[in-house]
Amino acid sequence: MSLKSTDLAYAIFEKYYSDNHPARNILLTHSRLVRNKALEIADKHPELNANQQFLSEAAMLHDIGIFLTNAPEIGCHGEYPYICHGYLGREILEKEGLPHHALVCERHTGTGLSAEEIRMQKLPLPHRDMVPISIEEQIICFADTFFSKGIETEREKTPDEVKQTLKKYGTDKVEKFSKWCTIFL
């Protein structure tokens, strides 16, 4: 599986994930599924005025930072905890001159993380809000919740399964996801 060679995401992806990188296929599959769901939402809801080109690129790049994390079950053997992949991806894409795409990386974890949550939970993240703001950020964040990386990479979770997963992070996460369901589904 590959991206279109004309795609901006392809050039960035190729720079960080060689053909023999152990996480390459998992990440490509996951990113493609998230992209497809995000574009499906944008097609279904033209009133949201989502930029589909940006959605496609940013969805394909939202997890670019996973190779820097320690997640051997998906082929990543970096030094950082997995939760750091968002802000690490932001740093990568900022260096690539893609500041808006970079924000998607940082803001896509779960339904987003506030600076207060990061401090209170003592997460190994910069103490700043990492919450999706733009409609494209929200769509990609929402689409991402339906797909895991690993054993069942290609299976789309149901909204109830996503809510069950989010429940352990707080009722506010479930409420935000439920609100998105009414807007995006």
Q: Confidence class of residue 6 from pLDDT cuts 50, 70 and 90?
A: very low
Two tokens, residue 160:
């109830």
Please choose, from the candidates 101, 114, 108, 95, the residue with its C-alpha nearest in 3D space to the C-alpha of residue 146: 108
The CATH class for the domain spanning 8-184 reads mainly alpha
Amino acid in position 76: C
pLDDT at 154: 86
**Tens-digit pLDDT profile for residues 43-70:** 999 999 999 999 999 999 999 999 999 9
Residue 4 has pLDDT above 80, yes or no: no
Q: SS3 letters for the chain?
A: CCCCCCCHHHHHHHHHCCCCCCCHHHHHHHHHHHHHHHHHHHHHCHHHCCCHHHHHHHHHHCCHHHHHEEEHHHCEECCECHHHHHHHHHHHHHHCCCHHHHHHHHHCCECEECHHHHHHCCCCCCCCCECCCCHHHHHHHHHHCCCCCCCCCCCCCCHHHHHHHHHCCCHHHHHHHHHHHHHHC
Instruction: Report in angstroms the alpha-carbon separations of 125 from 101, 129, 130.
Output: 19, 10, 10
**Tens-digit pLDDT profile for residues 150-181:** 778 889 999 999 999 999 999 999 999 999 99
pLDDT at 9: 87
* Least confident range of 5-19, 97-111, 144-158: 5-19
**Tens-digit pLDDT profile for residues 122-140:** 999 999 999 999 999 999 9
**CA–CA separation, 90 and 173 (whole Å):** 22
Mean pLDDT of 4-14: 76
pTM across the whole model = 0.94
